[in-house]
A = this chain, B = another copy of it.
Amino acid sequence: MKFSLVHTDAAARAGLLETDHGVIETPIFMPVGTQGTVKAVEQRELIELGAQIILGNTYHLYLRPGLEVLRSMGGLHRFMNWQRPLLTDSGGYQVFSLTELRKITQDGVTFKSHLDGSSHFFTPQKVVEIQRTIGSDIMMVLDECPPYPCDETYARESNALTVKWAKLCQQAVRDIPPYYGHHQSLFAIVQGGVYKHLRADSAKALVDLEMEGYAIGGLAVGEPADVMYDLTEFTTRFLPAEKPRYLMGVGTPENLLESIERGVDMFDCVMPTRNGRNGMVFTRNGRMNIRNAKWKMDDAPLDEGFESYTNKNFSRAYLRHLFQVDEILGLQLASIHNLSFYLWLVKEARTKILEGSFAPWKKEMMERLAGQL
């Protein structure tokens, strides 16, 4: 993997991330394909709407279809017929979310499957082995993601565990060669809760490990947006300019713009697809609840002049009807549109960074995005 910083505009960065499955233009948003499919969107539609990399969830893929199937099918790229880059999380976040069902030790985390209650043990080595089996282009280290709020002592101890596990993951990557012939990078995850000195400690310790990329974890977990922005800005200062930076699980269109301005290169979030399935549509002029009666006879597209399959072919009235009558096509069209919007947003951000006009464009977009249609 090779990351090149093409241009910077204040702290905002335009880069190129080269993987064996293709080049990713950053800043980039990664649609979430938890179980080997981005919900309600076909693989060819992901290509059409400009997805350059998608995300899979290690926890879910480990449970179903499971390692035996993934290995025998030649990995996730081949299994789901997605030939562009894939990133997988480590499964840690999902496992730690099973608060009643898991137990953490220095060695790893024991958890019970949410499906059948069966017991499993994830160690740093194990999550690397699973991600080798998935074959993701970018693998994430096993980390502990502390809850919000969390006290300083917990955050400090958690930090130490995350650094220890990052080293073990790095060693496991050396010990277990890739199965499918392509290179798989390993990214570390900066933690530290809301404590700046702990964020700095975490970043420094992980930077010393010379990982291929760095994620900022433990944000967008309930803290105010301002705190998230402040911690993101603070944390990026400690990250090397020549490595990609990934803000995990973020976020709204506004979150993306604020974070791009603070030097983040990569994002993932279920919001465009999940909200889309709930009838919430993103446009350049703010959000709309497509179920609202006011769209009943509105013949206009969701976002006049915007390029998406949904937008170019169907009216607000038709979308509203599909949601009113619970038709699957509504879920499809809203998901396609929202992902198109997210991918447009980061592409446009990149263009503006390259032109050196990110700040004024971002200011204008923030005003437009605050609208409510």
**Which residues of A come within 8 Å of B, CB atoms?**
35-37, 39-44, 60, 64-65, 68-69, 72-73, 79-81, 296-297, 299, 309, 313-315, 317-318, 321-322, 324-325, 327-329, 331-333
Contacts and interface: CB of A to CB of B under 8 A. Distances in A.
B327 A39 contact: yes
Contacts of A327: 35-37, 39
A80 B318 contact: yes
A329 B73 contact: no
Given A318-B79, A324-B65, A325-B64, A72 B332 contact: no
A318 B43 CA distance: 13
A315 B77 CA distance: 13
A139 B99 CA distance: 58
Contact of A321 (B44, B65, B332): B65
Contact of A297 (B69, B296, B321): B69
20 contacts: A35-B327, A36-B318, A36-B321, A36-B327, A37-B322, A37-B327, A42-B309, A42-B329, A43-B313, A44-B309, A64-B321, A65-B324, A69-B317, A73-B297, A73-B318, A79-B315, A79-B317, A80-B318, A328-B328, A332-B332
Nearest to A321: B65
A31 to B, nearest CB: 13
B325 A35 contact: yes
Contacts of A328: 37, 39-40, 328, 331-332
Given A42-B309, A42-B329, 6 more contacts: A35-B325, A36-B318, A36-B321, A60-B325, A80-B314, A80-B318
Given A73-B299, A331-B328, A317 B40 contact: no
A41 B328 CA distance: 8
Given A64-B325, A68-B297, A332-B332, A81 B43 contact: no
A314 B37 CA distance: 12
Contact of A69 (B39, B296, B313, B331): B296
B329 A69 contact: no
Contacts of A60: 325
